[in-house]
Structure 1
Amino acid sequence: MDNAEKMARAFRLFDEANSKDPNKDEFEGSKHPKELLYAKRMTETLTAFAPEASEAVQLSARCQHLRRWEIPRDRYEMNRVGYLKWRQELKKFHAEKATEILEFVGYDAETIAQVQFLLLKKQLKKSPETQMLEDVICLVFMTYYLEEFAQKHPKDKLIDILQKTWRKMSEKGQAAALELPFSDHVALLVREAISG
Protein backbone atom coordinates (compact mmCIF):
# COMPACT_ATOMS: atom_id res chain seq x y z
CA MET A 1 0.00 0.00 0.00
CA ASP A 2 1.52 3.34 -1.01
CA ASN A 3 1.34 6.48 1.14
CA ALA A 4 -1.63 7.98 -0.72
CA GLU A 5 -3.66 4.80 -0.16
CA LYS A 6 -2.56 4.64 3.47
CA MET A 7 -3.60 8.22 4.11
CA ALA A 8 -6.96 7.74 2.36
CA ARG A 9 -7.59 4.69 4.53
CA ALA A 10 -6.62 6.58 7.70
CA PHE A 11 -8.96 9.43 6.72
CA ARG A 12 -11.80 6.94 6.18
CA LEU A 13 -11.26 5.42 9.63
CA PHE A 14 -11.00 8.85 11.30
CA ASP A 15 -14.23 9.85 9.57
CA GLU A 16 -16.00 6.62 10.52
CA ALA A 17 -15.09 7.27 14.17
CA ASN A 18 -16.21 10.91 14.03
CA SER A 19 -19.45 10.02 12.21
CA LYS A 20 -20.60 8.48 15.52
CA ASP A 21 -20.64 11.91 17.19
CA PRO A 22 -24.12 12.32 18.74
CA ASN A 23 -23.74 16.12 18.58
CA LYS A 24 -24.90 17.70 15.32
CA ASP A 25 -24.08 20.96 13.52
CA GLU A 26 -26.26 22.37 10.78
CA PHE A 27 -24.55 23.14 7.49
CA GLU A 28 -26.09 23.86 4.09
CA GLY A 29 -29.56 22.89 5.26
CA SER A 30 -28.77 19.54 6.88
CA LYS A 31 -27.39 18.23 10.15
CA HIS A 32 -23.92 16.65 10.29
CA PRO A 33 -21.98 14.91 13.10
CA LYS A 34 -20.16 17.85 14.68
CA GLU A 35 -16.63 16.43 14.74
CA LEU A 36 -16.90 14.89 11.27
CA LEU A 37 -17.80 18.30 9.86
CA TYR A 38 -14.97 19.90 11.85
CA ALA A 39 -12.44 17.34 10.54
CA LYS A 40 -13.42 17.99 6.92
CA ARG A 41 -13.16 21.75 7.49
CA MET A 42 -9.68 21.25 8.95
CA THR A 43 -8.57 19.36 5.83
CA GLU A 44 -10.10 21.90 3.44
CA THR A 45 -8.54 24.82 5.32
CA LEU A 46 -5.12 23.16 5.49
CA THR A 47 -5.21 22.40 1.74
CA ALA A 48 -5.95 26.06 0.97
CA PHE A 49 -3.56 27.52 3.56
CA ALA A 50 -0.59 25.15 3.20
CA PRO A 51 -0.88 22.85 0.17
CA GLU A 52 2.72 21.78 0.81
CA ALA A 53 1.84 20.31 4.25
CA SER A 54 3.52 17.02 5.13
CA GLU A 55 1.63 13.77 5.50
CA ALA A 56 1.91 14.01 9.30
CA VAL A 57 0.30 17.47 9.31
CA GLN A 58 -2.47 16.30 6.97
CA LEU A 59 -3.20 13.32 9.22
CA SER A 60 -3.11 15.48 12.36
CA ALA A 61 -5.52 18.01 10.88
CA ARG A 62 -8.03 15.29 10.02
CA CYS A 63 -7.97 13.70 13.51
CA GLN A 64 -7.44 16.79 15.64
CA HIS A 65 -10.81 16.35 17.40
CA LEU A 66 -11.03 12.55 17.06
CA ARG A 67 -13.94 11.24 19.21
CA ARG A 68 -13.86 14.50 21.20
CA TRP A 69 -17.40 14.07 22.55
CA GLU A 70 -16.22 11.12 24.67
CA ILE A 71 -14.54 13.55 27.08
CA PRO A 72 -17.18 16.24 27.70
CA ARG A 73 -16.29 19.63 29.14
CA ASP A 74 -18.74 19.25 32.03
CA ARG A 75 -16.65 16.45 33.52
CA TYR A 76 -14.27 19.14 34.74
CA GLU A 77 -14.71 22.19 36.95
CA MET A 78 -16.26 25.10 35.05
CA ASN A 79 -13.33 27.45 35.62
CA ARG A 80 -9.97 28.14 33.97
CA VAL A 81 -8.19 25.33 35.85
CA GLY A 82 -10.90 22.86 34.82
CA TYR A 83 -10.78 24.09 31.23
CA LEU A 84 -7.00 23.68 30.97
CA LYS A 85 -7.16 20.21 32.52
CA TRP A 86 -9.87 19.23 30.03
CA ARG A 87 -7.77 20.48 27.10
CA GLN A 88 -4.71 18.54 28.30
CA GLU A 89 -6.73 15.33 28.67
CA LEU A 90 -8.25 15.83 25.21
CA LYS A 91 -4.85 16.21 23.54
CA LYS A 92 -3.63 12.95 25.07
CA PHE A 93 -6.89 11.19 24.19
CA HIS A 94 -6.78 12.34 20.55
CA ALA A 95 -3.14 11.23 20.25
CA GLU A 96 -3.94 7.79 21.70
CA LYS A 97 -6.97 7.20 19.47
CA ALA A 98 -5.15 8.44 16.36
CA THR A 99 -2.22 6.12 17.15
CA GLU A 100 -4.55 3.10 17.28
CA ILE A 101 -5.86 3.88 13.79
CA LEU A 102 -2.46 4.73 12.31
CA GLU A 103 -0.94 1.49 13.64
CA PHE A 104 -3.87 -0.49 12.24
CA VAL A 105 -3.39 1.14 8.81
CA GLY A 106 0.32 0.25 8.91
CA TYR A 107 2.06 3.58 9.42
CA ASP A 108 5.70 3.57 10.49
CA ALA A 109 6.74 4.59 14.01
CA GLU A 110 8.31 7.86 12.81
CA THR A 111 5.10 9.15 11.19
CA ILE A 112 3.02 8.09 14.19
CA ALA A 113 5.44 9.85 16.57
CA GLN A 114 5.18 13.06 14.52
CA VAL A 115 1.37 12.94 14.55
CA GLN A 116 1.46 12.46 18.34
CA PHE A 117 3.88 15.40 18.63
CA LEU A 118 1.52 17.60 16.61
CA LEU A 119 -1.66 16.56 18.40
CA LEU A 120 0.02 17.26 21.75
CA LYS A 121 0.82 20.77 20.39
CA LYS A 122 4.49 20.46 21.28
CA GLN A 123 6.87 23.37 20.61
CA LEU A 124 4.27 25.85 19.40
CA LYS A 125 6.06 28.87 17.86
CA LYS A 126 9.23 26.73 17.52
CA SER A 127 8.12 23.79 15.37
CA PRO A 128 6.98 24.92 11.89
CA GLU A 129 4.58 21.96 11.63
CA THR A 130 3.00 22.53 15.06
CA GLN A 131 2.61 26.20 14.10
CA MET A 132 1.04 25.28 10.75
CA LEU A 133 -1.52 23.05 12.49
CA GLU A 134 -2.27 25.76 15.07
CA ASP A 135 -2.78 28.36 12.33
CA VAL A 136 -5.29 26.06 10.64
CA ILE A 137 -7.12 25.42 13.94
CA CYS A 138 -7.41 29.18 14.48
CA LEU A 139 -8.53 29.81 10.89
CA VAL A 140 -11.22 27.12 11.13
CA PHE A 141 -12.49 28.68 14.37
CA MET A 142 -12.58 32.16 12.87
CA THR A 143 -14.12 31.01 9.57
CA TYR A 144 -16.84 28.66 10.81
CA TYR A 145 -17.47 29.19 14.54
CA LEU A 146 -16.66 32.77 15.49
CA GLU A 147 -19.91 34.35 14.24
CA GLU A 148 -22.09 32.04 16.35
CA PHE A 149 -19.69 32.31 19.30
CA ALA A 150 -19.92 36.11 19.11
CA GLN A 151 -23.70 35.96 19.52
CA LYS A 152 -23.44 34.00 22.78
CA HIS A 153 -20.72 35.81 24.72
CA PRO A 154 -20.10 39.34 26.05
CA LYS A 155 -17.76 41.64 24.18
CA ASP A 156 -14.94 41.62 26.77
CA LYS A 157 -14.76 37.80 26.67
CA LEU A 158 -14.73 37.85 22.86
CA ILE A 159 -11.92 40.39 22.74
CA ASP A 160 -9.89 38.32 25.21
CA ILE A 161 -10.40 35.11 23.18
CA LEU A 162 -9.57 36.83 19.91
CA GLN A 163 -6.37 38.28 21.39
CA LYS A 164 -5.31 34.84 22.65
CA THR A 165 -6.13 33.32 19.26
CA TRP A 166 -4.15 36.03 17.46
CA ARG A 167 -1.08 35.49 19.66
CA LYS A 168 -1.07 31.78 18.81
CA MET A 169 -0.92 32.45 15.06
CA SER A 170 2.06 33.04 12.80
CA GLU A 171 2.27 36.16 10.61
CA LYS A 172 1.14 34.03 7.67
CA GLY A 173 -1.85 32.78 9.66
CA GLN A 174 -2.74 36.30 10.78
CA ALA A 175 -2.57 37.54 7.19
CA ALA A 176 -4.92 34.73 6.10
CA ALA A 177 -7.32 35.59 8.95
CA LEU A 178 -7.53 39.21 7.81
CA GLU A 179 -8.79 37.98 4.42
CA LEU A 180 -11.75 36.10 5.93
CA PRO A 181 -15.25 37.37 5.03
CA PHE A 182 -16.42 38.42 8.50
CA SER A 183 -19.71 40.15 9.18
CA ASP A 184 -19.35 43.87 10.00
CA HIS A 185 -19.90 43.14 13.71
CA VAL A 186 -17.21 40.46 13.91
CA ALA A 187 -14.80 42.43 11.70
CA LEU A 188 -15.03 45.30 14.22
CA LEU A 189 -14.35 42.92 17.12
CA VAL A 190 -11.33 41.44 15.33
CA ARG A 191 -9.92 44.89 14.56
CA GLU A 192 -10.40 46.04 18.14
CA ALA A 193 -8.81 42.85 19.52
CA ILE A 194 -5.69 42.99 17.36
CA SER A 195 -5.14 46.72 17.87
CA GLY A 196 -5.43 46.40 21.66
Structure 2
Amino acid sequence: MTRLQTAFDAIDKANAADPTLTDGQPEALLYGLRMTSEQAALYPDASEPLQIACRGQHVERWKLPRKDFPMDRPGYLAWRTEQGRRHAARIAGIMREAGYADEDLAHAEKMLTKQGIKRDGDVQALEDVACFTFIRWYLGPFAEGRDAEELSRIVEKTARKMSDTARARALVEFAIPEPFAAAFRA
Protein backbone atom coordinates (compact mmCIF):
# COMPACT_ATOMS: atom_id res chain seq x y z
CA MET A 1 0.00 0.00 0.00
CA THR A 2 1.32 3.47 -0.86
CA ARG A 3 1.70 6.17 1.77
CA LEU A 4 -1.01 8.17 -0.07
CA GLN A 5 -3.45 5.29 0.27
CA THR A 6 -2.38 4.85 3.91
CA ALA A 7 -3.22 8.52 4.56
CA PHE A 8 -6.55 8.25 2.70
CA ASP A 9 -7.47 5.14 4.67
CA ALA A 10 -6.69 6.86 7.98
CA ILE A 11 -8.76 9.92 7.01
CA ASP A 12 -11.65 7.74 5.86
CA LYS A 13 -11.51 5.67 9.05
CA ALA A 14 -11.61 8.84 11.17
CA ASN A 15 -14.46 10.29 9.13
CA ALA A 16 -16.44 7.04 9.19
CA ALA A 17 -17.13 7.77 12.87
CA ASP A 18 -19.23 10.84 11.98
CA PRO A 19 -22.64 10.26 13.57
CA THR A 20 -24.41 12.43 10.97
CA LEU A 21 -25.55 10.39 8.00
CA THR A 22 -26.23 11.59 4.46
CA ASP A 23 -27.52 9.07 1.94
CA GLY A 24 -26.72 6.38 4.50
CA GLN A 25 -23.05 7.38 4.80
CA PRO A 26 -21.24 9.34 7.50
CA GLU A 27 -21.32 12.98 6.30
CA ALA A 28 -17.59 13.69 6.84
CA LEU A 29 -16.64 10.54 4.94
CA LEU A 30 -18.95 11.45 2.05
CA TYR A 31 -17.59 15.01 1.97
CA GLY A 32 -14.00 13.75 1.80
CA LEU A 33 -14.82 11.39 -1.05
CA ARG A 34 -16.60 14.19 -2.91
CA MET A 35 -13.61 16.50 -2.40
CA THR A 36 -11.30 13.83 -3.83
CA SER A 37 -13.57 13.39 -6.84
CA GLU A 38 -13.63 17.14 -7.54
CA GLN A 39 -9.86 17.40 -7.03
CA ALA A 40 -9.24 14.59 -9.52
CA ALA A 41 -11.37 16.38 -12.11
CA LEU A 42 -10.01 19.89 -11.51
CA TYR A 43 -6.38 19.14 -10.64
CA PRO A 44 -5.54 15.63 -11.87
CA ASP A 45 -1.79 16.26 -11.43
CA ALA A 46 -2.14 17.46 -7.83
CA SER A 47 0.70 16.84 -5.40
CA GLU A 48 0.12 14.24 -2.71
CA PRO A 49 -0.10 16.90 0.03
CA LEU A 50 -2.85 18.64 -1.98
CA GLN A 51 -4.69 15.37 -2.53
CA ILE A 52 -4.51 14.64 1.20
CA ALA A 53 -5.60 18.18 2.14
CA CYS A 54 -8.63 17.80 -0.14
CA ARG A 55 -9.60 14.44 1.34
CA GLY A 56 -9.05 15.67 4.89
CA GLN A 57 -10.39 19.21 4.73
CA HIS A 58 -13.26 18.37 7.10
CA VAL A 59 -11.63 15.52 9.01
CA GLU A 60 -13.62 14.91 12.21
CA ARG A 61 -15.45 18.21 11.71
CA TRP A 62 -18.39 17.10 13.85
CA LYS A 63 -16.16 17.06 16.94
CA LEU A 64 -16.26 20.87 17.11
CA PRO A 65 -19.91 21.81 16.59
CA ARG A 66 -20.80 25.23 15.22
CA LYS A 67 -23.22 25.68 18.14
CA ASP A 68 -20.25 25.78 20.54
CA PHE A 69 -19.44 29.28 19.24
CA PRO A 70 -21.51 32.47 19.28
CA MET A 71 -24.10 32.42 16.49
CA ASP A 72 -22.91 35.64 14.90
CA ARG A 73 -20.36 36.48 12.20
CA PRO A 74 -17.37 36.73 14.60
CA GLY A 75 -18.41 33.41 16.16
CA TYR A 76 -18.63 31.80 12.74
CA LEU A 77 -15.20 33.09 11.76
CA ALA A 78 -13.69 31.90 15.06
CA TRP A 79 -15.24 28.46 14.53
CA ARG A 80 -13.90 28.23 10.97
CA THR A 81 -10.42 29.30 12.08
CA GLU A 82 -10.37 26.73 14.86
CA GLN A 83 -11.68 24.03 12.51
CA GLY A 84 -8.86 24.80 10.07
CA ARG A 85 -6.29 24.60 12.84
CA ARG A 86 -7.70 21.29 14.10
CA HIS A 87 -7.95 19.80 10.62
CA ALA A 88 -4.37 20.84 9.83
CA ALA A 89 -3.02 19.29 13.04
CA ARG A 90 -4.98 16.06 12.54
CA ILE A 91 -3.91 15.70 8.90
CA ALA A 92 -0.29 16.44 9.79
CA GLY A 93 -0.42 13.58 12.31
CA ILE A 94 -1.93 11.23 9.74
CA MET A 95 0.69 12.20 7.17
CA ARG A 96 3.51 11.72 9.69
CA GLU A 97 2.24 8.21 10.48
CA ALA A 98 2.06 7.46 6.75
CA GLY A 99 5.73 8.42 6.31
CA TYR A 100 5.58 11.91 4.81
CA ALA A 101 8.41 14.39 5.34
CA ASP A 102 8.03 17.45 7.56
CA GLU A 103 7.94 19.76 4.53
CA ASP A 104 4.92 17.86 3.17
CA LEU A 105 3.18 18.12 6.53
CA ALA A 106 3.86 21.86 6.68
CA HIS A 107 2.54 22.29 3.15
CA ALA A 108 -0.71 20.48 3.97
CA GLU A 109 -1.09 22.52 7.15
CA LYS A 110 -0.64 25.74 5.15
CA MET A 111 -3.37 24.66 2.75
CA LEU A 112 -5.80 23.60 5.46
CA THR A 113 -5.37 26.86 7.37
CA LYS A 114 -5.83 28.80 4.10
CA GLN A 115 -2.49 30.60 4.38
CA GLY A 116 -1.73 32.16 1.03
CA ILE A 117 -5.07 31.91 -0.70
CA LYS A 118 -4.85 33.75 -4.04
CA ARG A 119 -1.03 33.69 -3.70
CA ASP A 120 -0.11 30.01 -3.33
CA GLY A 121 -1.24 27.69 -6.13
CA ASP A 122 -1.99 24.70 -3.91
CA VAL A 123 -3.84 26.75 -1.29
CA GLN A 124 -5.93 28.21 -4.10
CA ALA A 125 -6.46 24.78 -5.65
CA LEU A 126 -7.84 23.46 -2.34
CA GLU A 127 -10.22 26.42 -2.21
CA ASP A 128 -11.31 25.83 -5.82
CA VAL A 129 -12.02 22.17 -5.02
CA ALA A 130 -13.99 23.14 -1.91
CA CYS A 131 -16.05 25.65 -3.91
CA PHE A 132 -16.80 23.11 -6.65
CA THR A 133 -17.80 20.57 -4.01
CA PHE A 134 -20.08 23.15 -2.39
CA ILE A 135 -21.69 24.17 -5.68
CA ARG A 136 -22.18 20.61 -6.94
CA TRP A 137 -23.38 18.94 -3.73
CA TYR A 138 -24.41 21.50 -1.12
CA LEU A 139 -25.58 24.75 -2.74
CA GLY A 140 -29.01 23.40 -3.70
CA PRO A 141 -29.98 22.19 -0.22
CA PHE A 142 -28.25 25.23 1.33
CA ALA A 143 -30.32 27.58 -0.84
CA GLU A 144 -33.64 26.18 0.37
CA GLY A 145 -35.44 28.68 2.56
CA ARG A 146 -33.05 31.55 1.80
CA ASP A 147 -34.23 34.70 0.09
CA ALA A 148 -32.75 35.77 -3.26
CA GLU A 149 -30.61 38.54 -1.77
CA GLU A 150 -29.01 36.29 0.83
CA LEU A 151 -28.43 33.56 -1.74
CA SER A 152 -26.87 36.09 -4.11
CA ARG A 153 -24.39 37.16 -1.38
CA ILE A 154 -23.44 33.53 -0.72
CA VAL A 155 -22.88 32.84 -4.42
CA GLU A 156 -20.81 36.04 -4.78
CA LYS A 157 -18.63 35.11 -1.78
CA THR A 158 -18.10 31.63 -3.19
CA ALA A 159 -17.11 33.00 -6.60
CA ARG A 160 -14.66 35.50 -5.05
CA LYS A 161 -12.81 32.66 -3.32
CA MET A 162 -12.18 30.87 -6.62
CA SER A 163 -9.38 31.33 -9.14
CA ASP A 164 -10.20 32.92 -12.49
CA THR A 165 -9.79 29.54 -14.18
CA ALA A 166 -12.13 27.79 -11.72
CA ARG A 167 -14.77 30.53 -12.06
CA ALA A 168 -14.70 30.20 -15.86
CA ARG A 169 -14.98 26.42 -15.60
CA ALA A 170 -17.83 26.68 -13.10
CA LEU A 171 -19.83 28.82 -15.53
CA VAL A 172 -19.66 26.06 -18.11
CA GLU A 173 -19.84 23.02 -15.88
CA PHE A 174 -22.74 24.15 -13.72
CA ALA A 175 -24.65 26.28 -16.24
CA ILE A 176 -25.01 28.95 -13.57
CA PRO A 177 -28.09 31.07 -14.25
CA GLU A 178 -28.26 34.84 -14.32
CA PRO A 179 -28.02 36.91 -12.19
CA PHE A 180 -25.67 34.56 -10.27
CA ALA A 181 -23.41 34.03 -13.29
CA ALA A 182 -22.28 37.66 -13.14
CA ALA A 183 -20.32 36.89 -9.94
CA PHE A 184 -18.32 34.26 -11.82
CA ARG A 185 -17.46 36.64 -14.65
CA ALA A 186 -16.21 39.42 -12.34
| TM-score bin (small chain) | over 0.9
Question: In 1, are the aligned partners of 2:171 and 2:184 still within 8 Å (CA)?
Answer: no
Question: In 2, are the aligned partners of 1:76 and 1:82 still within 8 Å (CA)?
Answer: yes
Query: What is the number of residues matched between the two proteins?
Result: 186
Q: Does residue 1:63 correspond to 2:56, yes or no?
A: yes
CA RMSD of aligned residues (A): 1.6
Hey, what's the Cα distance between the residues in 1 that align with 2:137 and 2:178? 17
Q: TM-score of the superposition, structure 1-length normalised?
A: 0.90
In the alignment, structure 2 segments of 5+ residues that lack a partner are none
Question: In 2, are the aligned partners of 1:17 and 1:66 still within 8 Å (CA)?
Answer: yes
Shift of 1:189: 5.2
Q: Does residue 1:40 correspond to 2:30, yes or no?
A: no
Shift of 1:135: 0.5
State the percentage of identical aligned residues: 37
Q: Secondary structure at the match of 1:22?
A: coil
Q: Does residue 1:16 correspond to 2:9, yes or no?
A: no
Q: TM-score of the superposition, structure 2-length normalised?
A: 0.94
In the alignment, structure 1 segments of 5+ residues that lack a partner are none
User: What residue number does 2:167 align with?
Assistant: 174
Aligned amino acid, residue 12 of structure 2: D
Q: Does residue 1:144 correspond to 2:129, yes or no?
A: no
Which runs of at least 4 in structure 1 moved beyond 4 Å after TM superposition?
Answer: 192-196
Question: In 2, are the aligned partners of 1:143 and 1:180 still within 8 Å (CA)?
Answer: no
User: What residue number does 2:99 align with?
Assistant: 106
Shift of 1:181: 3.8
Aligned amino acid, residue 13 of structure 1: A
Shift of 1:193: 4.6
Q: Does residue 1:90 correspond to 2:80, yes or no?
A: no
CA deviations on 1:85-130 (whole Å, 9 max, x unpaired) are 0000000000111112111112111111101011011111000111
Shift of 1:188: 3.8
Aligned CA distance change for structure 1 residues 100 and 187 (closer, same or farther; 3 Å):
same
CA deviations on 1:67-93 (whole Å, 9 max, x unpaired) are 000000000111100000000000000
